[in-house]
Structures are given as structure tokens and as C-alpha cells.
Chain A
Amino acid sequence: MEDAHRNTPAHPADELDRRDFLKGSGAALVAAGLTSPAAVGAVPPSGSAQQAAPEAPSTFLRFTLNGAPYNLRVEDRWTLAEMLRDHLMGFLGTKVGCERGECGACTVLVDGAPVYSCSTLAVWMEGRSVRTVEGLAPRGELSPLQRAFVDHNAPQCGFCTPGQLMTATALLERNPSPTPDEVRRGMVGNLCRCANYNAIVEAVMAAARGATTTGGGA
């Protein structure tokens, strides 16, 4: 009876002592059917003759990122978020929350319009102009919108904040004096699970009024 419910390996003989494993034995991996030497434990440091992944189809891409021209080869399967985060060191400000176009954390601006970079391919950026949160404060000086976010406590955990900032930036460029309802409608694609929606709208409205101060927004 017990065996019917306990964690039993399909092949009990393959059981290995956990401590032995942690001491570095690679034998455990063989038990799972891993016979390729490259795939079994204790891999030597990179640069050795281990088998690398095959090259994926790629395309040469020219685009502008935060005002600077970029020319690089991108794999066709890379999303824009992936290119920014993994392949252009230093653009980790764009966050990935769902990777399926639900949450808006990864929002960046493409030719001034907010897009979900998790659901946009990098190769589509040919000749386009991309702006990320890093582009809002190019020399470390916060934009008025960022200052309003600080003053009005718009970030709680802060994970959705880069996306909220990008959408709000696009919104204010298009409509410098929105009503609160226009802000809510314009930002409906940016979720905040901390549900700090009230403060985010207040921050955007304050930025629109040019009412940003430094310190103390209550």
C-alpha cells in the first residue's frame, strides 16, 4: 500500500544517495538515460570542446535604441524583450512578467507607441526606433514622470514600474493634459498586482500638471 503513494523511483535500483550526488557524482544523470558525455554532470569550463547548440537562423538588424544606432545580428526567434535583456548588456530595466502579452511589465516604445516586447520579435525592429526605461533618464537625471512616480509612491514592488512608465510616457506625449479616466483607459494594458493603481494615476496626473516636486507627495 505504501509504495502506491510514496515517492518511489520507477527503477528502485537507480536510487542514489543524495549526499553522494552533492559531492559531485555525475552517475545519477546516467540513470535518467543521459548517455551523451556532453550532457552528463561535471562540465568543464566554457571554451572546451563540448558540444554547443546549433546555430539558429539569424538576421542582420539595424535600429535605434534610446537614440543610439545599433547594428547587430539577431536570431529570428528572439523576442524584443530577449534581445534587450539577454543580448544587449545593460538593458535589464525592461521586466518580463508573463511572456504572453497579459501583464504589460515588458512594455517599451516602438516609434513612440507602447508595445509588449515579450510578444514582439526583435527582427521586426528593422529601421525602427525603440525606447526603454533606460532612455527616460539617460544621464541619471530622472524625467518629470519618474520624479512624479517617486513623489507619489507609484512603485510598490516596482516590477511593473518600467512598463507603467513607458506607457504613461507615450500617453503624455500624445495627450499632455489627460483626465484621470483617460489615464486609466490608456494604461489598462499595464497590470499592477500590488494594485497600486490609485497612486500610479495620481503620479501621471501630477506629471501632466507639471506639479512634480522633490520629496513628500502626500
Chain B
Amino acid sequence: MNPRQAAPQLAPMRTVGHSVPRIDAAERVTGANYTRDFVRLGMLYARLLTSPHPHARILSIDTSRAAALPGVRAIITHQTHPDIVYSSGSIAGGAQYNDAAKDITLHKRFMFNNPVRHVGEPVAAVAAVDRHVAEEAAGLITVEYEQLPFVLDAEEALAPGAPQVWPEGNIGLNGRNEPRPLGGRQGDPDAGFAAAERILEGRYTTAFCQDAQLEPRSVLAVWEGDKLQLYTPTQGISNCRHDNARDLGLEDHQVQIICHYMGGGFGDKNGSYYHDLIAATLAKATGTPVKLELTRKEDWLGTHGRWPTTQDLRVGFTADGTVTAVELRALSGMGPYLRRSGSLSGIDAYACANVDRQIYPVHTNRTVSGNFRAPSEPQGYFPIQSMMDDVAYAVGMDPVDFARRNMRRPSETVRFTNFSLDECIDRGVDLFDWRNRWRPTPGSDAGPIKRGAGFSFMMFRSGVGPSSAILRLDGTTNRYTLFVGVTDIGPGAKTTMALIAAEELGVPLEQVDVVWGDTDRCPYSVGESGSRTTIMTGYAVVEAARDLKRQITERGVPALGDVRIASATPNPSTEGRQRLCFAAHFCEVEVDVQLGHVRVTKFVAVHESGRILNPLPARDQIRGAVLQGISMALREDLLYDGRNGQPLTAGYYGARHLTHLDAPEIEVSFIETDDGYGPFGAKTVGEAGIILSPSAVGNAIYNATGVRMKDLPITRQRILEALA
């Protein structure tokens, strides 16, 4: 399969656009050094003690037995450190990059909290001379709890008399500390429903999916005087530095964040985490470097996953298949802290002007929700694209034709930098052989094993924005060094940045070295979240390279012992136009209606993500993301025992993550364009692939069985119940 089918109008480039192995590929296949692999002589090991209760007040903590254990060096709790706020852990409005939101929130989250509000919330941390002693000491701490009433379900949390997670109630507070829903009204929804000839309604639910990156969290904290060095896995060293500095009462320059290789993140490692604060505090207390390691279970329950949702949808339409109004009433389960917004996307992919959306972020005593690869999208797209599939059948239209009629397009008032959804759909229809695989009559196959095909489409942000890069040509070595504050979470940012520099400079890739992942060496970068690194930091690299070329033209190459240095912090704009990437996914499944088993037999993902800078890893970003979405559709959940609030499936086995055996082959095709923005026209890739697969799978199951599955994950049990 050739992942790159270049559109004829796109002229090939020298370096960019050709598949290149990672410049650090050799490290990756010999066991690169991740955070947990860093050591300091004499360092201590730290372990956590976490809450066994979903909601409880801590009455007392007795650390005397733990402290008496030989080898224990420090124990910290909310009693020793009641004032250290983990500011990015609970934010008014969930506004990730807004300092004011962290300040004003009434729902401050501390390094250690009392009361504790979910199972797995840290209660104490121990530093000791070795890991076993630290673990034993944590077990010797006695905590007296007063258990408080708890609530796990978002809908129950809003019922009268429900246990209160916060005194202000269980609705997440916005940027003005008001319990208002996200969303709002556009156009005239009432008139839209009045004009409708038919209305369909449905309730959909989606589950909590832990980001579950394979590298569990660990932090190595080292103080040198009043400067803190933190080796910590983060998707954004600049934001991580800033958040840790503010939480510890330091200036930004007093904190150095180091993160090179990272064992995945998917949003879980955005910015800072409270573990950074705990390790820093223990290291300060002991005057010794401290490495805090989380167990897999502590990571599963103590970090975050995709917010689970309950969504009531209503869609009005005419007999000719035109949508006239859409209404969404949704609850996003955020756990006890509003770490991120709880918003939902998907309705915005449709042209319908009359929309009423009310999305309430709701506090519960489940583990915390936060960003996971396209934070608002797959669980937003699944309900609306399922519902629109139903509407298409209701009016007797092929879902692909229905999409073409109702999808949002650029208009006089809302202009795009380009629009390619029609091409994505056309190519997918051909590659997938949609006309032959899709059943006009759902569930029409004879026999117990039924096949069917499903389709979904999307448009997703690819906006431009500010970031920085520094580029140096050394006259002694005749090598270019690129300084970029990126980390390598998996897509290959380090290689991508080098490719962009080599292309713009017109030099071989081998002549470019990259300095990365260290706030003391690199300028600001936006961070590996929001699929922004390639677009924003990549464009800063282009600008820095242009400046360096200009300097060389004007002043010549640097003499022996001299250097030429260029830096750039561009803040580009699309002049009011929306910049989006586009995709259409096509899925075929086989459903065994006697066993409830679903097998994906064919999957085609067509994406327009602008110019593809490195086709091989870009293809695998999409394939991996599609498979994560299939895992979300069919498998992953965090189940709780309602009687005691205990999580039951916190781990890979319990959450039934995809294995080699469960992963079908995914076919990826890129439509390449250059809209004149980003580095050489590059757009979002990393997050785009996960948005559509849950709805494509759900629609295919409907086409195979004639039964609409409205709850994720679509388990065997749920299929058998629906078919019964």
C-alpha cells in the first residue's frame, strides 16, 4: 500500500514528503532512555499511599510506624503541606492554558486533598533509601477516614439530594465560577423543529477510556540550591515548567523540565501533574534527589481518561433528507475536578443552522476526566453520526449521499482556507467499494454471521498559532543545530522539525542536529497537545530558517569559530478563515448474532491533512488512532461497583485493550493539499484519526444487524441484549 497518493497539483519537495525513518530510530529499537531510566547517585525512591474510598474525610494520619522503619527519609501528607495547589488539576471552565482560570476557581485541587474525592487520590508519599522500603513504609501509614456519601453517575449527581462533591453543587463551574452549561443556541432551533417533517430522538452513552499510555508516570526531582530540575514525562515542557513554578512559588527560570523520549501520552501527560509537586517536595525535604514511581494502578486511577458522557439528541428533518434542527442535552462526567472542559464536538460538522446544545460538566466521585487524543470529538461524533445515520435510513437515502447534502461547507460568512471533504468521501467510496459493501436493507444477510458497512465524516481544527524556534549554523563544524522545545511523544516531532529545517535551508537532513526536550536549552514551544507541534513549532522553524538564509546571504557563512543564529516566534493568522482538516472513514464488520461477537473486516480511512511531511509515520498515526477508536467502540470501560464506589477494571486486562490479535488492518489514504498555511501546508494528523472510528463501527453494526447500538463500548453482552 502506498500511503501517499499525491494530488497532482502538489509539486514534490526535496526533503519533505518522502518517507524517512526517524532520526533517532536506532535509539528507539535499542531501548531509548525514558524518564524512569534516569538515576542520580544516592537518590531516594518515593511511593504513594492513595485513598481506598471514593469520598472520605481524613480524620487523622499516623505515620509513626512508617517513620520508624529504617531507611525512611521523609513522609509528606496534606497535614505537612496543606497549601501546595496543583493549579492545572482543577480549572475554572477547564481552560487549559489560562492562568486566571487556575487562580479564580473555587474548586482548588491540592497536592494532597482532604476530603479525598475519588479512589486512587493520593493521601501520603514516602521517600526512602530503596523502593521496597518506601513501599513497606507506605503500607505502615494508618489513616482514619470518615466515609462520606459518594456519587458515580453524572445523572444521579444532578438529582435532588445527591451527595455533593463540592459545596457549590455538582455542576462544573465556568470561568466566572457559575454552574452554566457549555454550548448555546445558534439560529432558531424552535423554528427549525417546527419546520421539520419528522423528528428522531435518542439517548447515547460513552464510557471513560483511560489514556493508558504504556509508560507509567515517574518523576525524578533534583534541587541545586534554589533551582529545581525535574525529569518528568510531559507533553509540553514550557507549560509544565510554568505550572510547576507557580505551584511551588518559584520563578519560571528556577525550574528546568527535561523530557526527551516519552512512552506515549495521548493527552494524559499535558502540562504538569501533581506527581511533579510531590517529588519536588520530597527532594526538598530530604536534600536528596527523589524519584517517584507510580504503579500501573496508581497511574490508571490517579491521572485521567476521556470523559464519559450521557447525551440526549433530537434531530428534525424534512422528507427530502435536509436537517432542520438539532438539539443536544449532554452530561460529561468529569470526576471531582474540572481538569479539562467536558465539551463535545460533532454537530458542527453539519450545515444545519438551528442548533441548541447544552453540555453540563458534572462532578462525580469517579476518577478524574481529562484530555485524551481529540478530547471532545470521538464521544461527541459517535452520537450525532449514529443519529444522522438513522435519519438517512429514515428518509431512504444512502448515508454517504445524506452526508453530502447536510455536511457543513464554506460559505460567504464562514470561509475556510480550503475544503476537501468531497474528495475524501469520493476516494473512500472507491477504495472501500462502498456501493457493494453497504446493505440498503440493514440486517438483510441470511445466517448467523452478518456483514454490514458504516460511514462517518469529520472536520477538525488545524489552526495556526505562535511558537518558537532557534537555528544556529556553526562555522567550525559546518552543522546546523535546531533548538525546539518539543518532546517526542510518538509521532516523531524531533524528526519532523529536522525535516522542515532541512527543506527550508536546502541542506541534507544529516546536516541538522536537534536540541529538544529541555527548558534550559530550548525556546518556548506550544507542547505536544492539540496536534499543534508540526503546525505551530514547525512554522517557527520555517521562519527561523528563512532568517538564517537571509543572514548568510547578507553576511556570508560564519567564519571558523563563529556562528550565525536566527530565531523566530511567528504568530501567523488565517485572516478570519477557518483552517480545518477533513476525513471520511468506511468500516465493514461481521457480527455473529448468536455470540454477539464483532469483527472489523475492512477499514478505509481517507484524510486530508494538508501536505504530509513524512508519509510513513503519518500513515501510522492514522492507523494507530483508528485502532484506538475501535478499542473505544468495542472494548474499553472503567466499571465501578456501585455499592462501594470501587473501580473494577483499572488496567489493561480489565479494560480489555486491543492486542495484536484484535487489530484489523487499516487502510489509509491521504489527499494532499497546500492551503498556504503551516509549514508547507501541513495540518493536523495525530488526533484526527481517532475521531471517526467509533461512529463508523457503530454504523456498520447497524447495517449488519438492523439494531442501533447507542452505548459504548458495544460489548457482546450489549449486542446480545439488543438482538434478543
Per-residue interface assignment for chain B, residues 97 to 120, with 1 indicating a CB less than 8 Å from any chain A CB and 0 otherwise? 000000000001010111100000
Task: Assess whether B296 is in contact with A98, with CB atoms less than 8 Å apart.
Answer: yes
Task: Assess whether B58 is in contact with A197, with CB atoms less than 8 Å apart.
Answer: no
Question: What separation, in Å, do the CA atoms of A92 and B19 have in the docked complex?
Answer: 30
Cβ of A69 under 8 Å from chain B: no
A93 with B660: in contact, given A7-B110, A153-B617, A159-B263 (CB under 8 Å)? no
Cβ of A1 under 8 Å from chain B: yes
Cβ of A156 under 8 Å from chain B: yes
Of A58-66, A109-117, A120-128, A130-138, the segment with at least 4 beta carbons within 8 Å of chain B is: A130-138
- Residues from chain A with a CB closer than 8 A to the CB of B58 are 10
Q: Which residue of B lies closest to A180 (CB)?
A: B665
- Residues from chain B with a CB closer than 8 A to the CB of A11 are 79
Question: What separation, in Å, do the CA atoms of A196 and B653 have in the docked complex?
Answer: 18
Question: What separation, in Å, do the CA atoms of A43 and B619 have in the docked complex?
Answer: 52
**Chain A proximity of B304: nearest CB distance (Å):** 15
Cβ of A38 under 8 Å from chain B: yes
Q: Which residue of A lies closest to B25 (CB)?
A: A150
A95 with B215: in contact, given A10-B79, A10-B114, A15-B83 (CB under 8 Å)? yes
- Residues from chain A with a CB closer than 8 A to the CB of B591 are none
Task: Assess whether A196 is in contact with B624, with CB atoms less than 8 Å apart.
Answer: yes
Cβ of A176 under 8 Å from chain B: no
Q: Which residue of A lies closest to B689 (CB)?
A: A195
Cβ of A200 under 8 Å from chain B: yes
- Residues from chain A with a CB closer than 8 A to the CB of B172 are none
Q: Which residue of B lies closest to A186 (CB)?
A: B660
Cβ of B31 under 8 Å from chain A: yes
Task: Assess whether B490 is in contact with A46, with CB atoms less than 8 Å apart.
Answer: no
Question: What separation, in Å, do the CA atoms of A161 and B248 have in the docked complex?
Answer: 36
A162 with B108: in contact, given A10-B79, A41-B285 (CB under 8 Å)? no
A52 with B167: in contact, given A7-B113, A43-B288 (CB under 8 Å)? no
Q: How many residues of A contact B (CB 8 A)?
A: 101
Of B63-71, B316-324, B704-712, the segment with at least 4 beta carbons within 8 Å of chain A is: B63-71
Task: Assess whether B295 is in contact with A99, with CB atoms less than 8 Å apart.
Answer: yes
Task: Assess whether B286 is in contact with A43, with CB atoms less than 8 Å apart.
Answer: yes
Task: Assess whether B29 is in contact with A198, with CB atoms less than 8 Å apart.
Answer: no
Q: Which of A103, A165, A187 contacts B660 (CB 8 A)?
A: A187
Cβ of B12 under 8 Å from chain A: no
Q: Which of A33, A35, A41 contacts B61 (CB 8 A)?
A: A33
User: Which residue among B167, B214, B615, B616 has the maximum number of chain A CB atoms within 10 Å of its CB?
Assistant: B214
Per-residue interface assignment for chain A, residues 28 to 60, with 1 indicating a CB less than 8 Å from any chain B CB and 0 otherwise? 110111111011111111100001111010000
Task: Assess whether B82 is in contact with A136, with CB atoms less than 8 Å apart.
Answer: no
Task: Assess whether A36 is in contact with B68, with CB atoms less than 8 Å apart.
Answer: yes
Q: Which residue of B lies closest to A101 (CB)?
A: B653
Cβ of A70 under 8 Å from chain B: no
Question: What separation, in Å, do the CA atoms of A94 and B33 have in the docked complex?
Answer: 10
Q: Which of A46, A150, A157, A200 contacts B489 (CB 8 A)?
A: A157
**Chain B proximity of A140: nearest CB distance (Å):** 8
A194 with B28: in contact, given A10-B58, A46-B42, A54-B70 (CB under 8 Å)? no
**Chain A proximity of B255: nearest CB distance (Å):** 12
- Residues from chain B with a CB closer than 8 A to the CB of A33 are 61-64, 67, 75
Q: Which residue of B lies closest to A160 (CB)?
A: B214
Cβ of A102 under 8 Å from chain B: yes
**Chain B proximity of A145: nearest CB distance (Å):** 9
Of B125-133, B177-185, B393-401, B417-425, the segment with at least 4 beta carbons within 8 Å of chain A is: B125-133
Task: Assess whether B285 is in contact with A98, with CB atoms less than 8 Å apart.
Answer: no
Cβ of B77 under 8 Å from chain A: yes
- Residues from chain B with a CB closer than 8 A to the CB of A200 are 660
Interface hits, A73-101 → B, CB 8 Å = 77, 82, 85-86, 92-100
- Residues from chain B with a CB closer than 8 A to the CB of A198 are 620, 623, 627, 663, 665-666
Task: Assess whether B249 is in contact with A22, with CB atoms less than 8 Å apart.
Answer: yes
A193 with B296: in contact, given A2-B167, A31-B80, A157-B262 (CB under 8 Å)? no
Cβ of B264 under 8 Å from chain A: yes
Task: Assess whether A97 is in contact with B42, with CB atoms less than 8 Å apart.
Answer: no
Task: Assess whether B30 is in contact with A193, with CB atoms less than 8 Å apart.
Answer: no
Task: Assess whether B652 is in contact with A9, with CB atoms less than 8 Å apart.
Answer: no
Cβ of B194 under 8 Å from chain A: no
A161 with B60: in contact, given A22-B248, A38-B73 (CB under 8 Å)? no
- Residues from chain A with a CB closer than 8 A to the CB of B278 are none
Cβ of A178 under 8 Å from chain B: no
**Chain B proximity of A4: nearest CB distance (Å):** 7
Task: Assess whether A142 is in contact with B30, with CB atoms less than 8 Å apart.
Answer: yes
Task: Assess whether B624 is in contact with A22, with CB atoms less than 8 Å apart.
Answer: no
Task: Assess whether B73 is in contact with A43, with CB atoms less than 8 Å apart.
Answer: yes
- Residues from chain A with a CB closer than 8 A to the CB of B329 are none
- Residues from chain A with a CB closer than 8 A to the CB of B666 are 198
A150 with B29: in contact, given A7-B108, A39-B72 (CB under 8 Å)? yes
Q: Which residue of B lies closest to A190 (CB)?
A: B660
Q: Which residue of B lies closest to A156 (CB)?
A: B490
Question: What separation, in Å, do the CA atoms of A102 and B29 have in the docked complex?
Answer: 21
- Residues from chain B with a CB closer than 8 A to the CB of A99 are 295-296
Task: Assess whether A41 is in contact with B286, with CB atoms less than 8 Å apart.
Answer: yes
Question: What separation, in Å, do the CA atoms of A40 and B72 have in the docked complex?
Answer: 9
A38 with B624: in contact, given A10-B58, A28-B81, A98-B216 (CB under 8 Å)? no
Task: Assess whether A134 is in contact with B30, with CB atoms less than 8 Å apart.
Answer: yes
- Residues from chain B with a CB closer than 8 A to the CB of A26 are 285
Task: Assess whether B262 is in contact with A5, with CB atoms less than 8 Å apart.
Answer: no
Cβ of B644 under 8 Å from chain A: no
Cβ of B481 under 8 Å from chain A: no
Q: Which of B21, B110, B132 contacts A151 (CB 8 A)?
A: B21
**Chain A proximity of B189: nearest CB distance (Å):** 37
A97 with B214: in contact, given A22-B248, A51-B71 (CB under 8 Å)? yes
A97 with B296: in contact, given A5-B115, A28-B285, A33-B67 (CB under 8 Å)? yes
Question: What separation, in Å, do the CA atoms of A5 and B653 have in the docked complex?
Answer: 35
Cβ of B607 under 8 Å from chain A: no
Task: Assess whether B30 is in contact with A45, with CB atoms less than 8 Å apart.
Answer: no
Question: What separation, in Å, do the CA atoms of A215 and B22 have in the docked complex?
Answer: 10
Task: Assess whether A41 is in contact with B287, with CB atoms less than 8 Å apart.
Answer: yes
**Chain B proximity of A16: nearest CB distance (Å):** 7
Q: Which residue of B lies closest to A82 (CB)?
A: B131
- Residues from chain A with a CB closer than 8 A to the CB of B18 are 216
**Chain A proximity of B287: nearest CB distance (Å):** 5
Task: Assess whether B652 is in contact with A146, with CB atoms less than 8 Å apart.
Answer: no
Q: Which residue of B lies closest to A150 (CB)?
A: B25
- Residues from chain A with a CB closer than 8 A to the CB of B34 are 95, 159
Question: What separation, in Å, do the CA atoms of A84 and B211 have in the docked complex?
Answer: 28
Q: Which residue of A lies closest to B132 (CB)?
A: A77
What 5 A-B pairs have minimum CB-CB distances, sorted nearest first?
A93-B31, A159-B263, A53-B71, A195-B627, A157-B490
Residues of chain B whose beta carbon lies under 8 Å from any beta carbon of chain A: 2-4, 18-22, 25-34, 36-37, 41-42, 58-64, 67-68, 70-84, 108, 110, 112-115, 124, 128-133, 164, 166-167, 212-216, 248-250, 261-266, 281, 284-288, 295-296, 488-491, 615-617, 619-621, 623-625, 627-628, 631, 651-653, 657-661, 663, 665-666
Residues of chain A whose beta carbon lies under 8 Å from any beta carbon of chain B: 1-2, 4-11, 14-19, 21-22, 24, 26, 28-29, 31-36, 38-46, 51-54, 56, 77, 82, 85-86, 92-100, 102-103, 105, 133-134, 136-137, 142, 146, 149-162, 165, 183-185, 187-201, 215-218
Name 13 A/B residue pairs within 8 A (Cβ), A-sorted.
A9-B78, A18-B248, A41-B74, A41-B286, A53-B129, A95-B31, A102-B296, A102-B652, A153-B616, A156-B624, A160-B263, A191-B659, A198-B663
Q: A134-B30, A153-B616 are in contact. List 15 more A-B contacts (CB 8 A).
A: A14-B80, A34-B74, A38-B73, A41-B74, A97-B296, A136-B30, A149-B25, A157-B261, A157-B489, A158-B28, A191-B659, A195-B623, A195-B625, A198-B627, A216-B616
